[in-house]
Structure 1
Amino acid sequence: MSDLKSRVKAFVKLGDFLGKFCEYADGVNPKQDALSTFFMELDEVITLSGHKNGWFTKENILHSLKSWSIVLTDNNMTDWLDNYTIEVNKEKTIAIIMAGNIPMVGFHDILSVLVTGNKALVKLSSNDTVLLPFMLKYLTKMDTYFKDKLMFTDEKLTEYDAVIATGSDNTARYFEYYFGKKPNIIRKNRNSVAVLTGEETMEQLEALGEDIFRYYGLGCRSVSKLFVPKGYDFELFFTSIYKYNTIINQPKYANNYDYNKAVYLMSEFKLLDNGFLMLKEDESYSSPIASLFYEEYTSLDILKNKLKHDAEKLQCIVSKGVSENEIDFGKTQSPALSDYADGVDTVEFLLKI
């Protein structure tokens, strides 16, 4: 038996561990817990994860772990959960179908299920099979309550009370067919955009590079499109993001850059290209890897209405003084605990089952 306070405490300990590990990995305090069994094991897990998925570089995994260490504090957890009435209810089993586009992408769902006193039945993505099981192992070490509360399976999902599934627009139709009779959260494709006015500083545009290039643009919080005023001069933008030019040294990214550039050139599309990122004028939101779509606007008011109309397609809007729910430059990849995917409150959903 475990109460909410105990469950929160275990996650806070996990956050503290991840923070210390990131310091150790960054060489800030190399002697600190260097001989810890969990430190050595997490080192091995990160290496194995990179071997299994070439997009999961050590830098990006550490960024994810550090982001979680920042939010998994007692104050943050308390502030987040104070918005709900979490009582001792009958335990439910929640099936979670994971995405695997970026490291630890489904951890928030696991956190939400476990902290509300439910069981998680997890079907991992083949792209991310080792990071999350390690987190469970550490949680169980901190509190044995979690030992039989989180189960991973490769089999067909059975014996569950509700479903949280994350995938594409195509897989969402499959999920709705198979899981539609159960309470569910089914997530589809979402993209993030940035609205530029031409008044941005070099510092803001440099920070925007983090929103574009972190995780190679594979996340729903990665900026995949720019809205710019008609006649916008991209010179300052390209100058500001040049610090990210080493991304082209990543083989998988470079292969996508070469392939997409060839496709664009054969189709005779007009491109703006700086050697590691291509800009293409396009009305779509989802741009291929190593490219960024842009669209000109003549009126901010008209653009605001368009973004409002397309809200269900968007995860984040990066801007300054343009959108009601805007995110500051450079902050899309550092969500708070209350920043729910697709804007659906996972905890509220779980408490109503």
Structure 2
Amino acid sequence: MTPIQDRIAAFNKLGIFLSQFSTKKIEKKAPIEHNDLFFDGFKHQLKLAQENNAWFTKENILFALESWSKALTNSNLEKWISKNDVHTKTSKKVAIVMAGNIPLVGFHDFLSVLISGHTLLVKQSSNDKHLLPFLAKYLEYVEGSFKGKITFTEQKLENFDAVIATGSDNTARYFEYYFKNKPNIIRKSRNSVAVLKGNESEEELQKLSDDVFTYFGLGCRSVSKLYVPKEYDFNHFFNGIYVKKDMINNAKYANNYDYNKAVYLMSEFDLLENGFLMIKEDESYSSPIATVFYEYYDNEIDLKIKLHKEREKIQCIVAKDFIENEVAFGETQNPQLWDYADGINTLEFLSKI
């Protein structure tokens, strides 16, 4: 096999390994390469990840692992690679500064660098430090050429050729200054929005509840803002999302709900709530936990123009028959390998450094 085929095969094996960790159950299967060496150890890492970060519930971690298991098939990897030139002329060292808002949030960058034949220098977030090093070790076992190509560091980043860094708008300004002399991709804060027309079925709104509540709304693909027509009846929305009423049983989520509700009430803001989610009229995109912002629109054309103008702040637009590249209800947390964060083709960037 060519080196690229070896790398595809390795990530496919990782996908098969991860298939043992699904939202339905964790089950050791045979025959999976190096399972005796890694299965129990990875189960332990899941426990450590949960203990280290209260937002990383078992359900959320397993959802992330299941998503990556489905993505890392031979056919998906081949289709993704076929769209790009990944035959590296010379291997470069690429630094990745990862966020820690959801489990394995930096995995796509990790995958992109390795599949392109480059060497990796990873600086993880302290909020998400347990899962990836273990999976990197698994990859080194199934594909020997990865050995020595993956380094994790907690120190200052040094001796690298290019960088991919993700952070808030504030840290992005720091990154842009600090990395200005290197080829770079700097990712800033983004949020996702949903455009409702008022004729959505209950099933569609139930699916939208996945877009709102998966990972407690902490992902950039999580819907934090609704656009609704004038006179919209929010009872429809509340009825649809009622399937997620058990969210309030998570102590950390409940604390945020209570705190934000108190802040809103003391500030005498108008808000609607149903016992586990508040909705508030607000022009911002980034809403606090347990809150979704909304804004009214007069007509669809003006709204399309507004969303186009502000596209730098938006990751996904959830809608039905409204705009090109819209995401279907319930699908924001199921991106394909070729659905790039911020719309920047990482493989293309890596082919040119």
Question: Do the aligned partners of 2:228 and 2:294 also contact (CA within 8 Å) in 1?
Answer: yes
**Residue 63 of structure 1 aligns with which residue?**
63
- Determine whether 1:144 maps to 2:144: yes
For 2:2 and 2:154, locate their aligned partners in 1 and report how far apart those are by CA, in whole Å. Answer: 28
Counterpart of 2:339 in 1: which secondary structure?
coil
Question: Do the aligned partners of 1:21 and 1:39 also contact (CA within 8 Å) in 2?
Answer: no
CA RMSD of aligned residues (A): 1.6
For 2:30 and 2:78, locate their aligned partners in 1 and report how far apart those are by CA, in whole Å. Answer: 28
AA aligned opposite 1:160 = F
Deviations 1:297-338 (A, max 9, x none): 110110000000000000000000111110000000011000
The TM-score, its normalising length taken from structure 2, stands at 0.97
For 1:133 and 1:58, locate their aligned partners in 2 and report how far apart those are by CA, in whole Å. Answer: 18
Cα gap change, 1:88 to 1:352, in 2 (>3 Å)? closer
Question: Do the aligned partners of 2:88 and 2:118 also contact (CA within 8 Å) in 1?
Answer: no
For 2:175 and 2:263, locate their aligned partners in 1 and report how far apart those are by CA, in whole Å. Answer: 32
**Residue 167 of structure 2 aligns with which residue?**
167
Counterpart of 2:21 in 1: which secondary structure?
helix
How much identity, in percent, do the aligned residues show? Answer: 58
Deviates more, 1:225-234 or 1:2-11: 2-11
AA aligned opposite 1:87 = H
**Residue 26 of structure 1 aligns with which residue?**
24
Counterpart of 1:194 in 2: which secondary structure?
strand
Deviates more, 1:29-38 or 1:273-282: 29-38
How far did residue 146 of structure 1 move?
A: 1.1
**Residue 297 of structure 1 aligns with which residue?**
297
- Determine whether 1:225 maps to 2:225: yes
Counterpart of 2:261 in 1: which secondary structure?
helix
1:72-151 alignment, distance < 5 Å = 72-151=72-151
How far did residue 31 of structure 1 move?
A: 6.6
How far did residue 4 of structure 1 move?
A: 0.2
**Residue 237 of structure 1 aligns with which residue?**
237
For 2:149 and 2:253, locate their aligned partners in 1 and report how far apart those are by CA, in whole Å. Answer: 38
- Determine whether 1:3 maps to 2:3: yes
How far did residue 36 of structure 1 move?
A: 3.4
How far did residue 173 of structure 1 move?
A: 0.7
Question: Do the aligned partners of 1:228 and 1:295 also contact (CA within 8 Å) in 2?
Answer: yes
- Determine whether 1:213 maps to 2:196: no
AA aligned opposite 1:104 = L
AA aligned opposite 1:149 = K
**Residue 277 of structure 1 aligns with which residue?**
277
Question: Where does structure 2 lack aligned partners over 5 or more consecutive residues?
Answer: none
How far did residue 134 of structure 1 move?
A: 1.0
AA aligned opposite 2:24 = D
For 1:37 and 1:74, locate their aligned partners in 2 and report how far apart those are by CA, in whole Å. Answer: 24
Counterpart of 2:324 in 1: which secondary structure?
coil
How far did residue 32 of structure 1 move?
A: 5.5
Question: Do the aligned partners of 1:2 and 1:145 also contact (CA within 8 Å) in 2?
Answer: no
Counterpart of 1:224 in 2: which secondary structure?
strand
For 1:194 and 1:271, locate their aligned partners in 2 and report how far apart those are by CA, in whole Å. Answer: 19
For 1:163 and 1:272, locate their aligned partners in 2 and report how far apart those are by CA, in whole Å. Answer: 43
For 1:318 and 1:116, locate their aligned partners in 2 and report how far apart those are by CA, in whole Å. Answer: 31
AA aligned opposite 1:283 = E
For 1:9 and 1:30, locate their aligned partners in 2 and report how far apart those are by CA, in whole Å. Answer: 21
For 2:31 and 2:47, locate their aligned partners in 1 and report how far apart those are by CA, in whole Å. Answer: 19
AA aligned opposite 2:346 = T
Question: Where does structure 1 lack aligned partners over 5 or more consecutive residues?
Answer: none
For 1:195 and 1:133, locate their aligned partners in 2 and report how far apart those are by CA, in whole Å. Answer: 39
For 1:28 and 1:49, locate their aligned partners in 2 and report how far apart those are by CA, in whole Å. Answer: 16
Deviations 1:54-83 (A, max 9, x none): 000110000000000111000000000001
How far did residue 27 of structure 1 move?
A: 3.7
**Residue 191 of structure 2 aligns with which residue?**
191
AA aligned opposite 1:15 = G
For 1:348 and 1:31, locate their aligned partners in 2 and report how far apart those are by CA, in whole Å. Answer: 36
For 2:104 and 2:31, locate their aligned partners in 1 and report how far apart those are by CA, in whole Å. Answer: 23
Cα gap change, 1:350 to 1:252, in 2 (>3 Å)? same
- Determine whether 1:54 maps to 2:54: yes
For 2:252 and 2:90, locate their aligned partners in 1 and report how far apart those are by CA, in whole Å. Answer: 47
How far did residue 88 of structure 1 move?
A: 3.8
Deviations 1:145-199 (A, max 9, x none): 1121110001111100001000000000110111011000000010000000011
AA aligned opposite 1:324 = E
For 1:129 and 1:92, locate their aligned partners in 2 and report how far apart those are by CA, in whole Å. Answer: 24
The TM-score, its normalising length taken from structure 1, stands at 0.97
For 2:24 and 2:241, locate their aligned partners in 1 and report how far apart those are by CA, in whole Å. Answer: 24
Question: Do the aligned partners of 2:229 and 2:296 also contact (CA within 8 Å) in 1?
Answer: yes
Deviates more, 1:128-137 or 1:30-39: 30-39
Question: Do the aligned partners of 1:312 and 1:342 also contact (CA within 8 Å) in 2?
Answer: yes
Counterpart of 1:295 in 2: which secondary structure?
strand
Cα gap change, 1:168 to 1:88, in 2 (>3 Å)? closer
